Amino acid sequence: MHQLCDSGVPTQREGGRGVAATAKGCSYFPFSGSTLATLADELESYDRTKSSLHFDPAKPLPMALVRKLIKARIAET
């Protein structure tokens, strides 16, 4: 489902997770304030806020990390 996230960025949201792309890069929004904190050690090399993970589309997130992010979010729900 396409929608705007809280910041007004067009976001693809599915099952409580979202990804957005802008001219400056891409962001992952787990729509949770604790998912990213759960994996903080593994996310040290990425820019992030409490609720979003930012990455360069030229360097996509590794699939193993994507799986961990999704599993962490599912465990919260």
Class of domain 2-76: alpha beta
Domain range list for the chain? 2-76
Q: Read off the pLDDT of residues 40-69 as tens digits, 9 standing for 90 and up.
A: 999 999 999 888 899 888 888 899 998 999
Average pLDDT on 23-45 reads 87
Q: pTM higher than 0.95 for the full model? A: no
Q: Read off the pLDDT of residues 4-15 as tens digits, 9 standing for 90 and up.
A: 344 454 444 555
Q: Which residue has the higher pLDDT, 30 or 19?
A: 30
Give residue 38's pLDDT: 92
40, exposed or middle or buried, with CB in 10 Å at 0-12, 13-18, 19+?
exposed
Average pLDDT on 1-24 reads 51
Backbone angles phi, psi at 29, to 5 degrees: -120, 105
CA 23 – CA 77 distance, rounded (Å): 32
